Amino acid sequence: MIGIENIIFLIVAAVGIGLFVWQIRKIRKNVLMGRDVELTDNPSERINKTLLVAFGQQKMFKRMLPAVLHLFVYVGFIVINIEVLEILIDGIFGTHRVLGFVGPLYSGLMAINEILAALVIVSCAIFLWRRNVTKVPRLWKGPELRAWPKLDANIILITEIVLMLALFVFNIADLKRVQLAGEEVVGAYPISRFFVDIFGNDPEQLYTIAKVGWWFHILGILAFMNYLPSSKHFHIIMAFPNVYYSKLLPKGKFTTNPAITHEIKAMLDPSYQPPAPEVDAEGNPVIQRFGAKDVEDLTWKQLMDSYTCTECGRCTAVCPANVTGKLLSPRKIVMDTRDRMEEKGEHPAIFAPNHYKELGEERVETTDEKTLLRGYITPEELWACTTCNACVEACPVNIDQLSTIMDLRRFLVLEESAAPSSLNAMFTNIENNGAPWAFSPADRFNWAEDLYVPSKN
Ligand code: SF4
Ligand code: SF4
């Protein structure tokens, strides 16, 4: 029967879900600030990739310990959603364990749920240990890991532990109350049954404890859901679309700039007719920017990447520039893009990670310029990149850090002619000699003059 408690629950759930949707709309608006790009080709390959990399956690298994721990948390998250569905129905309609009618299947689900909840607690405790006690370098060091990202990671882990404990409080108290009342136990509770005596034998007290555990668990879930958009943990939602829309081209293949392609085609073939210039909604020609200076010059996918970043630092740990002490950290490029996007667009309702920026130790000297380039990411970082693709390969959620680096570099070269002098010399050579070296094309085979080449005759 629906009572006052159910009405309160309905209001709380509606506010929680509504606030989450409102934040998602802000994020969508931010991502759509980016340039358009067509990424819907080859759906079957995209689905395969999503199943392997996002659902199957394929890339995580390059490091066994964090992979197994992460798997517990990930599967726990998926299975617990079934229980959340039951909580929502029970909360609205005043029922008790409404999905219990599926019998053995329900028992199996509840049992798996409890085992996974326990594994989530153990995994999160180990993750906390690795972050704060053993201080795994990739989770601890780097100018991008300022106060907020460190705090955020700890908040998430502690919240997950507390949510699971609340679930156990509910299950233990409810199980004992049902046993005392002689009612049929709905579901199987392989962990809670070992602790049934810890809350005493008073049915009323057990009822209250179960209610507190239940409310704490669901309110915690609603609060956690609304915290996600401010957190790196948002990847639990974004990883799936981000992997689906990931690059299908070979990793080393760069995209070309259509405006330059048309110009070259016209140079090679005077009869070539470039397409009419793009116009905006009012019919004004769109000024084409070569490369990217700020977030709106990047594509929506590159902006989506930055909302998907788990801040795991796997990319930075394998980056040859970073490990040899250069300023570049691919994780910083991705995190800076997100910070700048939220500075320019909107930030989620709960927290503005930008506010925590100044609390970190800065190693990268940026300027006051209010653009992604120079205001957040310096040319020195960009030119340190060897374009080796190791970061792209390492990323567990298929983020293409290199494409952002290349687009920012393109802007430096094509719009500002601000490449390092060694590269400018190479560009001049390519223009004049058709090769990066300072030799005339006529001298190209000089190296072969002294070679002994046996004649067939
Ligand atoms: S592509 Fe650039 S950023 Fe990525 S790992 Fe290689 S050097 Fe580092
Ligand atoms: S870009 Fe990928 S590998 Fe790098 S920190 Fe983010 S999620 Fe991890």
- Residue of 314, 381, 389, 395 with the most ligand 1 atoms within 8 Å of its CB, for mutation: 389
Q: Whose CA is nearest to atom 5 of ligand 1?
A: 319
State in Å: Cα 169 to ligand 2 middle: 36
Ligand 2 interacting residues, C-beta cut-off 6 A: 309-315, 330-331, 334, 394-395, 397, 399, 401
- Measured from the alpha carbon of residue 315, the closest ligand is 2
Q: Is 452 helix (H, G, I), strand (E, B) or coil?
A: coil
State in Å: Cα 126 to ligand 2 middle: 20
CB neighbour class for 296 (10 Å; exposed up to 12, middle 13-18, buried from 19): middle
State in Å: Cα 54 to ligand 1 middle: 22
- Measured from the alpha carbon of residue 305, the closest ligand is 2
Retrieve residue 300's tokens.
Answer: 């929506």
- Rg of the chain over Cα atoms, rounded to whole angstroms, equals 28
Tens digits of per-residue pLDDT, 178-199?
Answer: 899 888 888 889 999 999 889 8
Ligand 1 interacting residues, C-beta cut-off 6 A: 319-321, 328, 330, 385-391, 401-402, 405
State in Å: Cα 125 to ligand 2 middle: 22
Q: Whose CA is nearest to atom 8 of ligand 2?
A: 312
Looking at the CA of residue 314, tell me the nearest atom of ligand 2: 3
Higher pLDDT, 118 or 359: 118
State in Å: Cα 390 to ligand 1 middle: 6
Q: Is 108 helix (H, G, I), strand (E, B) or coil?
A: helix
Q: How many CB atoms lie within 10 A of CB 404?
A: 26
* β partners of residue 373: 377
Percent helix, percent strand, percent coil in the chain, to nearest 5:
65, 0, 35
State in Å: Cα 62 to ligand 2 middle: 14
* DSSP annotation of 413: H
State in Å: Cα 360 to ligand 2 middle: 19
Query: How many whole angstroms separate alpha carbon 293 and alpha carbon 35?
Result: 13
- Measured from the alpha carbon of residue 328, the closest ligand is 1
- Residue of 60, 240, 315, 337 with the most ligand 2 atoms within 8 Å of its CB, for mutation: 315
Query: How many whole angstroms separate alpha carbon 121 and alpha carbon 160?
Result: 7
pLDDT of residue 350: 66
Query: How many whole angstroms separate alpha carbon 412 and alpha carbon 115?
Result: 54
- Residue of 385, 393, 408 with the most ligand 1 atoms within 8 Å of its CB, for mutation: 385
State in Å: Cα 438 to ligand 2 middle: 40
Mean of per-residue pLDDT scores for the chain: 87
State in Å: Cα 382 to ligand 1 middle: 9
Q: Is 344 helix (H, G, I), strand (E, B) or coil?
A: helix
CA angle, 240 then 343 then 155, to 5°: 55
Tens digits of per-residue pLDDT, 130-177?
Answer: 999 998 888 888 888 877 888 889 999 999 999 899 889 999 999 999
Tens digits of per-residue pLDDT, 261-286?
Answer: 888 898 889 898 888 877 777 878 77
Given a cut of 60, whether residue 17 has pLDDT beyond it is yes
Catalogue the E-assigned strands of 255-411: none
Q: Whose CA is nearest to atom 6 of ligand 1?
A: 388
Higher pLDDT, 385 or 185: 385
Higher pLDDT, 279 or 33: 33
Q: Find, among 289, 263, 257, the residue nearest to 275 by Cα.
A: 263
Q: Whose CA is nearest to atom 3 of ligand 2?
A: 395
Q: Residue 353: pLDDT band by 50, 70, 90 thresholds?
A: low
Q: Residue 18: pLDDT band by 50, 70, 90 thresholds?
A: very high
Q: Are 226 and 19 in contact (CB under 8 A)?
A: yes
State in Å: Cα 298 to ligand 2 middle: 18
Give me the count of residues in the chain: 457
Looking at the CA of residue 384, tell me the nearest atom of ligand 1: 7
- Measured from the alpha carbon of residue 242, the closest ligand is 2
Given a cut of 90, whether residue 200 has pLDDT beyond it is no
Task: Give the C-alpha distances (Å, rounded to integers) separating 314 from 239, 245, 247, 327, 331.
Answer: 16, 21, 19, 16, 8
Q: Residue 358: pLDDT band by 50, 70, 90 thresholds?
A: low
